[in-house]
A and B are shown apart, each in its own frame.
Chain A
Amino acid sequence: MAGEETRHLPLEDLHQKAGARFGAFAGWSMPLTYPAGVMKEHQHTREHVGVFDISHMKLIELSGSGAGALLDRACPLDAAALPLLQSKYSFLLNDAAGIRDDVIVTRLGDDRFMLVANAGNAAEDEAHLRGLAGGLDVTVNPLDRVFLAIQGPEAEAALNKAGIATEGLSFMHGAEPRADWFLTRSGYTGEDGFEIGLPEKDARELLEKLFADERVTWVGLAARDSLRLEAGLCLHGNDITPDTNPVDAGLMWAIPKSLRAEGRFAGADALRALIARGAVEKRVGLKPEGRQPVRAGAALFDADGNEAGRITSGGFGPSAGHPVAMGYVPAALAANGTRLYADVRGTRVPVDVHALPFTPHRYRKG
């Protein structure tokens, strides 16, 4: 994003009116916190409903008789086997099976799919998809939408009250309730919730209805990060990158067994070699002792002072009530309870390998 102008959300005026504090993320000026502050915003999402403006993320529609074939080339995903209106977590891999991006793919028709890409990777993802589309009848169409996440145990009730029916929609399923609307039951907080892409005008109308409900508040990017970290979910660019792969990242559950052996997706050969080799390091949860947070980038050491991996995300978990972190450690040191030490400004802070998530998922699986 270097050298490019900062991009602004279509609803920036609403965030300004709500008193948001803005910061840069992936080339966008994003609301980080609102006057309630990250702690309250985080807890409100776990207890009621938080609304996040995630319009920096990109909806890319793939349509045409070759749409499924393009996905089969791009992702370790069996597009033909994906049931109508079901969503699937997947990846775009590079030739070394490194993770270019993590994406959610939803089937919207026989020959139509929606792919949700991360903000910082969206332009590259689009170019990559076009590059793989040779010889296929497929249109790669990045959509101009406001994208909102409505998350928390009362998200369904709040949406219903605002006139949006969600009955019958279970976790990781999608729908197109109106023209140019894309609604899924999903999210990145560990709570039940929804993500909805829609035209700006419709979004403003929906938000007006939603905010008439006292259970609903804006939640900024700071709490989005603490929520997803407690939920053990990866942030691309931190916990997964083009230099990490699904084997070490512990994300092989997202790749169907048949494809591991037979798939012809980009990065398939390298992935097979990695599977044969086995994980050298593993992504794990890490719980620092005491109250001092351990941040991304901190080096890890074992009890003898040998290098033992690195922290890739770290902060304070408002619901956990203690610092929480995620990182990569050597496979031999990945068992829960293993004591390691993080270097924080020259001090060795004890951290224990800890099961993920830190706070239990409460998805509505239907």
Chain B
Amino acid sequence: MATTYYTEDHEWLRVEGDVATVGITDYAQEQLGDLVFVELPETGKSLSKGDTAVVVESVKAASDVYAPVDGEVTEANETLSSDPALVNSAATGDGWLWKMKLSDKSQLDGLMDEAAYNAHIG
């Protein structure tokens, strides 16, 4: 059973076992507007919480997506190389960004659940 967590930076993490799938929320994709490029991380890259993991580029600007927790990248969503707009149309589904193996699951305790996130974005 997967559990979904949210961050104040408008990311979601779907955790199954010790692997998290990470993406940006629907609210975030709306704020960014039409995406035209996603710079993905290399598999095997080690991320610390707060590192820039992905850069999403809209027509107008580039925005960093930070690693919400520590871990190692196990897969990047290569579909986004040819279809970056998938993040707009399916932010919480097929538009996921990367998967990572968690180094310290206790870091998840500091994140929000869906109700808390919805209150956060008001």
Contact = CB atoms under 8 A, between A and B. Distances in A.
A292 B57 contact: yes
B62 interface: yes
Contacts, number: 48
Contacts of A315: 59-60
B37 A38 contact: no
Contact of B59 (A21, A39, A292, A345): A39
Interface string A280-299: 00000000000111010000
Contacts of B33: 21, 33, 37-38, 222
Contact of A38 (B34, B55, B84): B34
B69 interface: no
A316 interface: yes
Contact of B62 (A33, A42, A293): A293
Given A291-B84, A292-B57, A345-B55, A316 B62 contact: no
B37 A292 contact: yes
Place the interface of chain A in its size category. Answer: 20 to 34
Contact of A222 (B57, B59, B62, B88): B59
B36 interface: yes
Nearest to B81: A291
A27 interface: no
B75 interface: no
B57 A293 contact: yes
Contacts of A222: 33, 59-60
A316 B59 contact: yes
A39 B37 CA distance: 13
B39 A38 contact: no
Contacts of A295: 61-62
A42 B31 CA distance: 18
B47 to A, nearest CB: 16
Interface string B86-111: 00100000000000000000000000
Interface of A: 21, 32-33, 37-39, 42, 222-223, 225-226, 291-293, 295, 315-316, 318, 323, 345
By Cβ-Cβ distance, the 7 closest A-B pairs, closest first, are A316-B36, A39-B34, A38-B59, A316-B59, A292-B37, A222-B60, A291-B37
